[in-house]
Structure 1
């Protein structure tokens, strides 16, 4: 005889019911009574529901049977009955409940509509206000972000619009300080026990807890930015979001490195740039413009968003001349950009050229004067490459082309000889002369010349010039097959300027390209590259003052450290 569980609210037993109509009736009954349970079975049940919601977020069965009302009641009880919350592992219940709401409303608008009707917003708002802790705030802002992303649910969210904006901005700006002070900086025995359990499921040591706390803090920031973006794309509360101090903070919120597709400050800036008030506020922040400029010529996933944002500012006549001087030094390196990350073809280089040269005639003849003379010279360079030299190349005979090709080759060899003899200044000058003579169609030769000149700049400690030349080389080589030496050299240049994230991403890209077409057994990563990677990881560590400093280097790189391969790519010219 098969034994059955006697508990009327045992969810797992109910799910094993073979009769569909009986199963649905029992599930609905279970959800209606779940919030009344006082024993540890509730936590086990919630943990199971959490796993199901993550694995099947689009399944409408549980939402249609009352899971949202159930989760809302559980959060309400957690907030209003602290004695009940403190029993056993009940402290985990509001976390699981908010996470389940967020998972089921992630993709489907009809499920989000059910959640709204089920009254999930008030309890989620209580968690967002910090009634419990930052751990519950993290899942509450995630759930509200998913709800706000659906048109039908967004209207219900706007009832709390101003409060949500202020809370989300505050969390995005202070989350790392909060998590550090309330968790990472505490000794193990003083840390909140259920926080430790939720992060590591009781299997992690102090180092793993710190690493997980860093990841969760990053997610809290990214989800807060995402929720703000839901209002920005609807052109709501733009003036609230565009507070000067927050925009300054926003320029440093670049998203997580473990998941580069996580939401970032660059995405929110892009959405703000689609509005008149947003463009006006961003144009007045030199720090934000500089951040966009650095992103526009980096290996960051958000490169394209940064370029789009800058172009929006340049195409608006009210902000164009506020930012033109600042962005020209960055964009001039991108005018020959043909592909972006992911290998998609694009005309972005031509769009940049058009935006930069829009007023070139007025500038050339003195009708419009730029504050920065370097910017004016940079525009002249763009005009030369994209207009004058293109015309000359089109009219060039095959004989002249052959002669130029020969001369460029001879100059390159001469430059290399000067370089290896230690005359770095002269080598750079020769590479410059070769670039001036080199026809635009000789792409491979131009890539090498730009990269070699960048190496000269590196040795002369001219980091900005090295970044400019390596970016030129990488634009010419394309995103599918980036010039590896230029990636490494630009990583070094970024390191000179203390730009750890940009240096790390170029270094990582260099390793990826180096290992891309080789079997794992033959991969050899130079020790100095691994050392650079470790240096930038340490510099980017969000809780740098904590005792733990987790390394996120894969096994291949760790093995390479032991090999200490001294194959320096900068020596092969």
Structure 2
């Protein structure tokens, strides 16, 4: 039977004891770890059943819920072997493993709200303070450039922070998005920033960061919308003002390119349909109305 270690959250000494137990178990597993890392690369999902001793369980505060912790993964994080922003591309197996890691970031917002209904004001404050401590630990590990470990701290904080503290939850989602940006998960970062903005629609820092990721991902229309909203909230924001000058011509250029590509595809499709009738798209004249931007199609006899 797997050993279960209780994480009290409100007792710093108990938290330190849990950490010590984890480190002891890591030390016992260390001689085997390097060989297992190679096996993980070949079969990233296959080791949990083979080596149950590599999994530790942490119990959440005042709840009968346990979180599984992969000790080998924790060992890599503590040793600073997490991927940095400028690292080389990882193998497909490692990429699959990293995608699996993001599944652990899921936060059940509806479940948390339902659980809060049974909490007293004192219990809500206990959860709130536990979340703030986890956030501070995340901030500290971020300063040490341990992005993956910081991401885990922010996730655990989100699982504790009451939904009646929207500003704090917005900051936690924003901070986790920053970690995902460094870890090269832009789509996941955008999702977290969108959640942050749901909790705090006036959170300009989250809006600016999401706009930047949209722009880097070539999602220029969405970036422009965020910059416009940013300037409405903060007209003095220099980055936003510059983007409103820089992006519109780029958006127009991209849209025109997409239109041209679409017309080419329609032309190819039209030629395929018209060929049995001895016709082609050359028999039709496509004209654009400069005032409305609409297109009209007129038949013309190429033999005349």
Alignment TM-score, normalising by the size of structure 1 = 0.25
Q: Greater helix share, 1 or 2?
A: 1
Bigger radius of gyration: 1
Which fold has the larger relative contact order, with Cα–Cα distance below 8 Å and residues 6 or more apart in sequence? 2
